[in-house]
């Protein structure tokens, strides 16, 4: 299991469009990928899960990956979150 803290820079946080991009990226990996925010955890492969966290701009979230390609999955998902802009 690997994890990485990431700052959300997107003006709208992780809402509909950015969350959809995130789900697509996470779904391309075999590993389980989740995000933790405000004590809540959600599977990044689930759009409803990501949206239910209510992540806002400026928030710091933790990306957690576990499985075959966990290193790459964690790095790629974290990089996408950092570069997302509306």
Residues recognised as catalytic: 15
CB 53 within 8 A of CB 6: no
> Cβ contacts of residue 28 below 8 Å, gap of 6+?
none
Residues composing the chain: 86
Strand order in the sheet with 2-7: 2-7, 60-66, 32-37, 40-43
């Amino acid at each position: 299991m690997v994890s990485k803290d990431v700052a959300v820079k997107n003006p709208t946080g992780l809402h509909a469009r950015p969350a959809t991009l995130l789900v697509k990226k996470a779904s391309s990996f075999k590993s389980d990928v989740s995000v933790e925010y405000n004590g809540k955890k959600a599977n990044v492969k689930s759009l409803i899960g990501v949206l239910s966290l209510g992540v806002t701009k400026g928030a710091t979230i933790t990306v957690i990956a576990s499985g075959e390609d966990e290193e790459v999955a964690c790095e790629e998902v974290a990089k996408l979150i950092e570069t997302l802009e509306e």
